[in-house]
Amino acid sequence: MTGVSFSDLGVPAPLVHTLRHQGISEPFEVQMESIPDAMLGRDVCCRAPTGSGKTLAFGLPLLTRCVRADPYLPTSLILTPTRELAEQISKVLTPLAHEMDLEVVAIYGGTAYSKQTRPLKRGVDVVVACPGRLLDLMDNGALSLENVDIVVIDEADRMADMGFMEPVCQILDNCSAERQTILYSATLDDEVADLVKNYQHQPVTIEIGPKEVSMESMNHLFWLMKNSMKSEIAGEAIRKNGRSIVFCRTRAGVDRVGDELEDIGLSVATLHGGLSQRQRDGAMGRFTKGNCIVLVATDVAARGIDVEGVQNVIHYDPPENGKAYKHRSGRTARAGAVGNVISLVQRPQKKAYSRMQREVGIKCQFTPPNFSDLPDSDFVFTPESRPRRNGRQESRNGGYNNRGRSQNRSRGRSNGRGGRNGRSNGRREGNQSGNGRNHGGHYGGRSHGGRSEGGRSNGPSHGRSSWRSNGGGRSNGRNGNSNGRSNGRSNGGRRSNSYSDKRKGGRDGAPRGQSRQGQQGKKSYKKKNYSRN
């Protein structure tokens, strides 16, 4: 108990009342140190770790000093490196802003421009933005920053890591020359130091907590295993200790690992840049509210995420370097809590992991998996009891954005079981994809989407629909005891084939040697290149 209240720091009564209603009555250290100077309009340069209370530290002075905006001319700006962080800050500040008769809008990619331009047209006082989308709107004339007199740069070190420093400088150059600039970062070296030197005027420097994430507060484990064992080992660690974040290096890896963990009974959310903003928000909401115990994510997608009670950080794929190891690992062992950092190491990766250990200042042995090394936990694992749908709760594009492939979380499978209907709807950004529907009598299959001639299978087959589409569709039904598939592919026209027997007939059901005849006559089809960008 500090004995200091928000009122003592100069926070207006309406904001204090709202905070008290939310159960927040006393400020954290970073808030006590930075709010008084920020209230006076001074530039502030603060080094503080994620999860220390920075949002209110810069948000309360900003809302107190913010003036009402005219259409297209916001007066306060908060820059963040990721969509998730922008949305998180917006949600914290919006109820407080209402008390001051101010409006907050979050601006980031992955959503429709109209959703963000409509509020700007009315007049928005506080903009919380990612640099890329903000520059797009500026270029399109949707807003001007000439009246912005308060700028907050949050997670400045991660802005630098993600290559955003040049856009940030461009944005600052377009703001008022008399602005107040507040900067928060986990480190104040290299590019961040240059930003402070060039864009802040005699800033008050505040340092909270240790200069780096404390590696000593974490239980570091480096387990040797074959690649085929990683999901099983990760799942067992999660069952023992509970809420976990699993890091993969690629979008496809996130999707695959998420599927494998869900298949062994864990409730999983996945997060990567190939998902729509609605899907990303849904995944974060499930994990934050405790509706699932595992978040599988790429490094970039997980940056800026602040979730309490993470017991395990699991490096499914190796981090890029020691700095990335620290960033990932810093999601656990917060506020004095104990956390496990588990690296799933294949033997060829030992050298890279040994180098990372030296870079972060730890020295650990490489051992076979030993779950007794994990501390005892009160967590009791309960297998997911909700019925499995044909595809996970969030429809995904499988990590292949604009590659002509669309999958749901079960990779487009639709299995009709015992007279029940199964539906698999593939959605992806960009081109419209078709829908595959499987009405089962006894695993009977029927495909809908692209027009089909004779594309029904009524044998004891399994229906599977994976749609790849750029407009029309193609459907193949196989009879007999073989698997029935419906694959939608089109390059403009429609194409429909049925296989009545695996060994006879051409691809359009005609004897071999005859031309393929679709609904609109003869078509030629070029083989599509689905190689990864």
Query: What pLDDT digit, counting tens, does each position of 24-64 carry?
Result: 999 999 999 999 999 999 999 999 877 788 999 999 999 99
Task: Evaluate if residue 394 carries a pLDDT over 80.
Answer: no
pTM: 0.55
Write down the pLDDT at residue 62. 98
374 against 78, higher pLDDT? 78
**CATH code for the structural domain at 218-373:** 3.40.50.300
Quickly state the pLDDT bin for 384 (edges 50, 70, 90). low
Write the single-letter amino acid at 381. F
279 Cβ contact partners less than 8 Å away, ≥ 6 residues apart: 394, 395, 396
**Fold classification of 7-207 (topology level):** Rossmann fold (3.40.50)
Ranges of each domain in the chain: 7-207, 218-373, 396-522
Classify strands 484-488 and 204-207 as parallel, antiparallel or unpaired: unpaired
Q: Is there a shared CATH topology between the 7-207 domain and the 218-373 domain?
A: yes
105 forms beta bridges with 127
Phi, psi of 349 (to 5 degrees): -95, 0
Q: For 75-106, how does the pLDDT look when each residue is reduced to its tens digit (9 = 90+)? A: 999 999 988 899 999 999 999 999 999 999 99
User: Tokens representing 73?
Assistant: 């001319």
Q: State mean pLDDT over 328-352.
A: 86
Q: Which residues contact 422 (CB under 8 A, 6 or more apart)?
A: 390, 414, 415, 416, 437, 438, 440, 463
Summarize pLDDT for 401-434 with one digit per residue, the tens: 443 433 444 344 434 444 444 444 444 334 333 4
Alpha helices, H only, 202-334: 230-241, 251-263, 277-288, 299-302, 322-329
pLDDT beyond 70 at 517 = no
CA angle 438, 441, 447 (to 5 degrees): 25
pLDDT tier for residue 303 given thresholds of 50, 70 and 90: low
Percent above pLDDT 90 for the chain: 53
